[in-house]
Amino acid sequence: MGRQPSAKPTSFDIAYLAGVSQPTVSRALRGSKSVSAATRANIQRIAQELNYTVDKNASSLRSQRTHTLALLFFEDPNPDESMINPFFLSMLGSITRECARRGYDLLISFQQMHNDWHVTYQDSHRSDGIILLGYGDYQLYLTKLEHLVEMGTKFVRWGSVSEDGIGLTVGSDNVGAGEQAGAHLVEVGRRRIAFLGDASDHAPEFQDRYDGLCRAMRAAGVEPDPALQRDAVSSEDSGYAAARSLIEGGQSFDAVFAASDLIAIGAMRALTEAGLRLPQDVAIIGFDDIPAASQTTPTLTTVMQDMKGAGTLLVDALLARIDDRPVEERILPARLIRRQSTAV
């Protein structure tokens, strides 16, 4: 006689109907790649037909897991603490959706880099693993990451994929993106290209974008001028101040590559106030493709990062770490979005 389904469907009911073991059902519903794609799809279909939902309390007791992931934000210094970088909001949406798809809750927290957040989250056991977004000063960030590694914390970070070997990183191809921006500016006839952003080991993503720009310029026979680089963090005020410094420095320039859209938007205001026409006198490119980039005057040419892919890869990589499965760092391609600010 066949198994009679329970009044409330259980994972054992699904296992019986799918012809697999109950542990296989549990792994499949967590999205584990140790279960074949066909079997996972069949199990998920049966679970949906039965209106099955995971009993997180029971599951947590069995596995000693919380079935919760923590997302920690670190913002660049900004006097207006009510403002959140729109780029991070896009990333938040993709991570939240992927967590929900995988049956995990998401705990979101804003942190100051100088605080002992790395100790707090390790000791609290509030989550099974941590996703880190942003970092402010990367050199200070590194000391915190080293502590997480020493404590055996499961974490993954978004940022510059490097060879420092500290934790697992998912990030965009920032060098390639910088090359795209540089090649486009050279293509539209610009030779004196300024860069706004902290191009140093304190901000490796910005450094990579600057390196890509310089590589593209040299490939076209144009030598970058270090005097046209100005430090800036990702905010409109910082972009405005950097552009003002560039203008007041007296160096001639006919294009600007800003390390973020917020920097670019602030720079556009400074350039316009100085009587410079965009793009006739100065072409400008940003980075991130935030919603405001398509609403500026002129609309802003920018580099778009793969936010949907980023959220999927960050969650997938963290769950692999939690399950002690092998996982590699991933670099996502970025794409140039051409708009009016670089139109010929």
Residues 41 and 122 in one domain: no
The answer to whether residues 165 and 180 belong to one domain is no
33 CB burial (10 A radius; 0-12, 13-18, 19+): middle
Angle between helices 11-18 and 22-29 (to 10 degrees): 100
Question: Is 6 contained in some domain?
Answer: no
Domain around 15: 11-54
272 and 228 fall within a common domain: yes
Q: What pLDDT does residue 164 have?
A: 64
- Return all residues near 92 (Cβ < 8 A) that are at least 6 apart: 71, 108
Q: What is the pLDDT of residues 225-249, one digit of tens each?
A: 999 999 999 999 999 999 999 999 9
How far does the chain reach from its first CA to its final CA, in angstroms? 77
Q: Are residues 301 and 312 in the same domain?
A: no
| Domain at 19, CATH number | 1.10.260.40
31 and 95, same domain (yes or no): no
Mean pLDDT by 10 residues, the chain (344 residues): 62 89 82 82 90 63 71 68 72 91 88 57 71 82 80 88 78 97 98 96 93 98 97 94 96 96 97 97 97 96 94 94 89 97 90
Q: Do 190 and 297 fall within a single domain?
A: yes
- The pLDDT of residue 265 is 98
CA 88 – CA 80 distance, rounded (Å)? 16
- Give me the number of domains the chain comprises: 3
Domain assignment present for residue 189? The answer is yes
Q: Are residues 40 and 147 in the same domain?
A: no
In a domain, 61, yes or no: no
CATH of the domain at 72: 3.40.50.2300
What's the predicted TM-score (pTM) here? 0.78
- Which pLDDT belongs to residue 59? 53
Is 59 contained in some domain?
no
In this structure, how many other beta carbons lie within 10 angstroms of the beta carbon of residue 333? Answer: 12
Establish if 3 belongs to a structural domain.
no
Cis before 279? omega within 30: yes
- Pair (112, 166) in one structural domain: yes
Residue 323 lies in a domain: yes
| One domain, residues 300 and 232 | yes
Which residues, 6+ apart, have CB-to-CB distance to 96 below 8 Å? 106, 311
The burial class, CB within 10 Å (0-12 / 13-18 / 19+), for 64 is: exposed
133, β-bridge pairs: 73
Are both 161 and 202 inside the same structural domain?
no
Residue 289 counted as domain residue:
yes
Alpha-carbon gap, residue 46 to 25, rounded angstroms: 10
Q: Are residues 31 and 107 in the same domain?
A: no
Question: Is 181 found in the same domain as 220?
Answer: yes
Q: What is the pLDDT of residue 62?
A: 45
